[in-house]
Amino acid sequence: MDITFYKYQGTGNDFIIIDNRKNVFPKKNIELINKLCDRRFGIGADGLILLENSTTSDFEMVYFNADGNLGTMCGNGGRCIVAFAHFLGIFNIKTTFKAIGKLYYATIDNNLVSLIMNNVNQIEIHDNHLFLDTGSPHHVTFVKNIDQINVKNKGKEIRYGNPYFKEGTNVNFVEQINSNTFKVRTYERGVEDETFSCGTGVTAVAIASHYSKKSKNNAIILQTLGGNLEVSFDSDNKNYNNIILKAPAIFVFKGSIKVK
């Protein structure tokens, strides 16, 4: 079987996206998805996304981690599938889509996609990190000299460590640049490595930065290896609502691959 795919990237976080509205992709084939995401033996990506029909929204997003397993919400993946759905003519400027049983809202202006993320009302503060869920779980640690951090080794240690263990968490290392700018490097579970950017990760960092009073701004700039993103929000210093993740989502190429 030949599968037509599209490659998109959001600040270096890259995805294989497939139009599966006819429900032909074998999405239970974990080995196949893992192989397609492999950067040496497949197409290469941080994850694979299926665009499917929905009875309650414009479309549904089904996201798989690079290891082939179903993932939780992916912010950059969400922005990229919005760009893809716009390319397919599914919507014009504003859209709603379903992902992980929830409805998400987004707009597109040229290549700039703004995605409304989940509200956050639970943030844990620990001795040397914060923990919160922005659609995916995130451990946030503020550091100095972030460029010197071995993100893969240190991130893996935290990802499987106490109290996360097998289920694991994503791990973000953060260095403050100024009052509303933070540099972020992220270890993503499911990819099991550092990625160039993580949408739910930078969202978690922006909220954690404001909650811990490192910034008084309600619009935070996040610098990642793949580029800059902006996260804005409304807050009463306890609950965070109207959280918007904004950055470019870029089409890279279209291809076809034969699978058994």
pTM over 0.85: yes
Q: What is the pLDDT of residue 69?
A: 95
Q: Return the domain boundaries, the chain.
A: 2-116+249-258, 123-246
Q: How far apart are CA 166 and CA 113, in angstroms?
A: 33
Closest CA to 184 of 129, 223, 138, 219: 223
Contact 252, 14 (CB under 8 A): yes
Contact 193, 152 (CB under 8 A): yes
Helix (H) or strand (E) holding 108: strand 102-109
pLDDT tens, position by position, 225-244? 999 999 999 999 789 999 99
Q: What is the pLDDT of residue 36?
A: 97
Q: Regarding the domain with residue range 2-116+249-258, which homologous superfamily does it belong to in the CATH classification?
A: Diaminopimelate Epimerase; Chain A, domain 1 (3.10.310.10)
Long-range residue pairs from 213-219, CB within 8 A, at least 24 positions apart, any chain: 214/142, 214/176, 214/182, 215/176, 215/179, 215/180, 215/182, 216/179, 217/179, 217/180, 219/180
pLDDT tens, position by position, 123-155? 999 999 999 999 999 999 999 999 999 999 999
Answer yes or no: same fold for 2-116+249-258 and 123-246.
yes
Contact 104, 54 (CB under 8 A): no
Q: What is the pLDDT of residue 167?
A: 85
Q: How far apart are CA 143 and CA 140, in angstroms?
A: 10
Residue 161: what residue type? G
Give the architecture (CATH level 2) of 123-246.
Roll (3.10)
What Rg do the C-alpha atoms of the chain give, in angstroms? Answer: 18
The residues assigned a catalytic role are 74, 198
